[in-house]
Amino acid sequence: MRLDKFISNCGAATRSEVKKLVKNGSVTVNGAIAKKPDIKIDENKDVVCVSGAELNYREFVYLMLNKPKGYISATEDKHYPVVTELVPEEYAHYNVFPVGRLDIDTEGLLLLTNDGQFDHYMTSPKKNIYKRYFARLDRPAEDEDIEIFKNGMKFKEFTAKSARLEITENPAEVYIEIAEGKFHQVKRMCERVGKNVIYLKRVAIGSLPLDESLEKGKVRPLTEDEMRLLGVYP
């Protein structure tokens, strides 16, 4: 990998800043002052220091956001704030994007990454990664709804696979697990059984639960244990 790419991926400087840093002798590779920003280095072996501080390389980041209402699951939008605005400055250079989508009024667990393969894996309906939601309905759910969810549902543009509906002690509060993430899927499935969703929060993706201690609107990197839960091996 080129030295300037390595340094910018580490978040230590932008590519144009790297040029200046190299010029004034602030960058060393294995103890020797680097002469040019475009030299090739081995990111797994070479020790790169900027102004004496060693850099640790990471190509991909995996972040957890506790999404608040009012944000669009996108990287830019003309009319509304977007979830990437909530990403702290230290991750800005990774250019993360949301993994799948939550509606503007849905809260809870949203992952952000710059790893396209991971995104594809997590959002592919073929992988059967269930997404778990807590929903508050305008009417109590009924036992027969459980079977209707279990049988899957046909919609105009797709067929929802078998979904799990769990009714809590308060029957207007339910947990729903779906394997896909089609547009307004949970809301549409609830409408099919005659209920409107008045509050929706994603509480887990596969085996990964939302960290309930993460405040709404806050972002943090996934821990290594959490990444393993999702099948990513750091």
Nearer to ligand URA (CB atom), residue 37 or residue 108: 108
Smallest separation (angstroms) from ligand URA to the CB of 107: 9
Q: Which stretch binds ligand URA (CB under 6 A): 78-86, 101-109, 157-165, 224-232?
A: 101-109
Nearer to ligand URA (CB atom), residue 25 or residue 194: 194
Considering only residues 169 to 188 of the shown chain, the ones binding ligand URA according to CB under 6 A are: 184-187
Nearer to ligand URA (CB atom), residue 27 or residue 205: 205
Contacts 24+ apart (CB under 8 A), 48-55: 48/3, 48/6, 48/7, 48/10, 50/7, 50/12, 50/13, 50/21, 50/26, 51/21, 51/26, 53/12, 55/6, 55/7, 55/10, 55/12
Give yes or no for residue 200 binding ligand URA (CB under 6 A): yes
Smallest separation (angstroms) from ligand URA to the CB of 178: 7
Q: Is 92 exposed, middle or buried (0-12, 13-18, 19+ CB in 10 A)?
A: exposed
Distance CA(46)–CA(66), nearest Å, equals: 37
**Amino acid, single-letter form, for residue 169:** E
Which pairing describes strands 208-209 and 153-154: parallel, antiparallel, or unpaired?
A: unpaired
Distance CA(209)–CA(142), nearest Å, equals: 26
Please indicate whether residue 115 is annotated as part of the active site: no
Of 106, 113, 114, 123, which lies in the binding site for ligand URA, with binding defined by CB under 6 A? 106
**Amino acid, single-letter form, for residue 217:** G
Smallest separation (angstroms) from ligand URA to the CB of 203: 12
Distance CA(62)–CA(220), nearest Å, equals: 9
- Catalytic annotation, pick one of 4, 42, 77, 103: 103
Smallest separation (angstroms) from ligand URA to the CB of 177: 11
DSSP 61: -
Give contact residues for ligand URA (rule: CB under 6 A).
102-103, 106, 184-187, 200
Which residues are catalytic, by number? 103
